[in-house]
């Protein structure tokens, strides 16, 4: 491919939002004849980083590659095509990928026909793709999050025509149904209900890497779930960067509450959803969650900061009082509900008092689980342009102090389950010890347990909790 044929990412284009409704493409996925057998006698290695949306994309990519007759392998050494499906949410995620790409270079020496590829959110970044172009000449293929359906053509070009291939669309196209999928789980599945994000929190790169909010239709989501039920799946997790916004672009009023209720009525045993933004979490949603036993009592509710001024600068659209009110409402209406959250420390100019308010909200909510991060500037976002007066040591110290508290409450919340019996969806025997099984409770707690019965992955069993640790519970089946 000649250099000027590259389709490179552009963050300004990625930021644009059009009012136009997105077309939903329902044609069957077909590949050109010459590409159909590209994978015969060839193997691929796929490694996915980051969030569940990426994991689900990985399943589509694997589905497409298997349709081309590629075989998936577990180590890069065996592969003819290596693909890293990447995350751009923080710099350390990007550094990991660049390190991995560097270390995989050696495999090109033993296998010059090896095709090395990178896709996912990092591919949407101007700066990163520029680095790849200049410093990673062994990377043959780069494609973006809006280009996955074009993989057969792009891979053919890189593999058969030996052309370095870079194709990153900075604006979303249609919502494409009917792409192949290879589910990596046997009883738990991810289901996209929408793509993209329009929130533009000032620190976040996701609205740029994943485009504007586009919902799938309710009938497509429900049809996918029915297929999963027929295939024996027990749990679905409905995915969206902010599921509360589901249906707004399609003009469906109260979209997520309605969808959730319809999914509950399918009778699938367990329903989860992520992520919910605290800003538009409606009462109707709470009522539906409370009303159906198959909607799991577990809510991931990112708070980000405990200080209202900081939340405003972050573009979060709620005050900490509003967060607390929502939290209380959820806790009082949903029986035995558990919460997890995301928290950022060291946002530009965060004061010690502001950080103290973050500790206060942790004391107040006592989260079952918290994902805590040091703020990482992302090129193209408004926060990346802010001057910052907080030294890195201070940020690190705040993270340590925060984690001490969040870990304390994670343990405390687990301790409360000692002596109680809970329902566990079995994942299978534990990797370390075949006599011990593991699975998750309704509150999304990992349980390792012993049993004298014959059980298998996908069963839901009653387990009495005998011991609690910070990140897991121990128990025995009753
Ligand atoms: N720096 C640090 N953390 C971030 N997150 C998103 N963007 C950044 C950033 N630039 C965190 C938020 C979000 C989670 C998925 O990642 O807490 O909820
Ligand atoms: Fe990022 Fe905010 Fe959208 Fe979440 S809601 S993906 S933090 S912009």
pLDDT tens column, 288-315: 999 999 999 999 999 999 999 999 999 9
pLDDT tens column, 408-431: 999 999 999 999 999 999 999 988
Q: What is the structure's pLDDT at 66?
A: 97
| Residue 322 CA to ligand 2 centre (angstroms) | 18
381 pocket-lining for ligand 2 (C-beta < 6 Å) = no
CB 207 within 8 A of CB 50: no
* Both structure tokens of 376: 């990482």
Pocket test for ligand 2, best of 204, 343, 347, 375 (most atoms within 8 A of CB): 204
pLDDT of residue 327 exceeding 90, the answer is: yes
| Residue 459 CA to ligand 1 centre (angstroms) | 35
The terminus-to-terminus CA distance of the chain in angstroms comes to: 63
Q: What is the structure's pLDDT at 2?
A: 53
pLDDT of residue 1 exceeding 60, the answer is: no
| Residue 305 CA to ligand 2 centre (angstroms) | 14
419 φ/ψ sector (left φ>0, alpha ψ -120 to 50, else beta): left
Partner residues linked to 194 by β-bridges: 215
CB 97 within 8 A of CB 85: no
Pocket test for ligand 2, best of 51, 241, 304 (most atoms within 8 A of CB): 241
**What's the mean per-residue pLDDT of the chain?**
95
Listed in sequence order, the DSSP H helices in 85-172 are: 91-110, 126-135, 151-159
| Residue 274 CA to ligand 2 centre (angstroms) | 12
324 pocket-lining for ligand 2 (C-beta < 6 Å) = no
> How far is Cα of residue 12 from the mean position of the Cα atoms in its chain?
24
Label residue 19 by pLDDT band (50, 70, 90).
confident
Q: What is the side-by-side strand order in the sheet with 338-345?
A: 298-300, 338-345, 369-374
Q: Which residues 6+ apart lie within 8 Å of 402 measured at CB? A: 343, 345, 355, 358, 359, 362, 372
pLDDT of residue 136 exceeding 60, the answer is: yes
- CA–CA distance, 123 with 168 (Å, rounded to integer): 7
Q: Which atom of ligand 1 is nearest to the CA of 304?
A: 17
């Amino acid at each position: 491919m000649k250099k000027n044929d590259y389709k490179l990412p552009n963050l300004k284009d990625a930021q644009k939002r059009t009012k136009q409704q997105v077309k939903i493409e329902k044609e069957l996925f077909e590949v050109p004849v010459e590409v159909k057998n590209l994978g015969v006698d060839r193997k691929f290695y796929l490694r996915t980083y980051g969030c569940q949306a990426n994991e689900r994309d990985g399943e589509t990519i694997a589905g497409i590659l298997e349709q081309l007759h590629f075989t998936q392998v577990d180590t890069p050494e065996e592969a003819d095509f290596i693909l890293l499906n990447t995350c751009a949410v923080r710099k350390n995620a990007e550094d990991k990928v660049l390190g991995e790409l560097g270390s995989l270079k050696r495999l090109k020496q033993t296998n010059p026909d090896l095709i090395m590829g990178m896709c996912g959110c990092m591919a949407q970044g101007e700066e990163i793709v520029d680095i790849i172009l200049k410093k990673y000449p062994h990377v043959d293929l780069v494609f973006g999050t809006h280009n996955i359906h074009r993989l057969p053509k792009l891979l053919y070009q890189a593999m058969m025509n030996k052309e370095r291939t870079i194709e990153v669309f900075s604006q979303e196209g249609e919502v494409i149904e009917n792409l192949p999928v290879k589910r990596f789980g046997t009883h738990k599945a991810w289901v996209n209900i929408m793509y993209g994000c329009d929130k533009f929190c000032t620190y976040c790169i996701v609205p740029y890497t994943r485009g504007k909010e586009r919902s799938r239709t309710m009938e497509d989501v429900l049809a996918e779930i029915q297929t999963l039920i027929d295939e024996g799946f027990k749990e679905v997790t409905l995915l969206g960067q902010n599921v509360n916004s589901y249906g707004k672009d399609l003009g469906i009023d109260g979209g997520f509450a309605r969808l959730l209720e319809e999914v509950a009525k399918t009778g699938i045993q367990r329903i989860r959803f992520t992520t919910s933004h605290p800003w538009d979490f409606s009462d109707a949603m709470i009522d539906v969650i409370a009303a159906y036993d198959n909607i799991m009592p577990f809510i991931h509710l990112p708070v980000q900061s405990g200080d209202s001024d900081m939340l405003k600068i972050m573009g979060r659209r709620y005050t900490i009082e509003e967060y607390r009110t929502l939290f209380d409402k959820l806790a009082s209406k949903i029986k035995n509900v558990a919460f997890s959250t995301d928290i950022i420390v060291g946002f530009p100019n965060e004061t010690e008092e502001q950080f103290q308010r973050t500790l206060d909200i942790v004391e107040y909510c006592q989260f079952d689980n918290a994902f805590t991060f040091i703020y990482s500037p992302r090129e193209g976002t408004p926060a990346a342009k802010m001057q910052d007066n907080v030294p890195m040591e201070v940020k690190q110290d705040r993270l340590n102090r925060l984690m001490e508290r969040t870990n304390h409450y994670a343990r405390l919340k687990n301790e409360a389950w000692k002596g109680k019996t809970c329902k566990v969806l079995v994942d299978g025997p534990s990797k370390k010890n075949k006599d011990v099984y593991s699975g998750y409770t309704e509150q999304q707690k990992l349980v390792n347990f012993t049993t004298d019965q014959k059980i298998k992955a996908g069963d839901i069993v009653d387990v009495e909790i005998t011991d609690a640790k910070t990140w897991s519970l121990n128990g025995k089946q009753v």
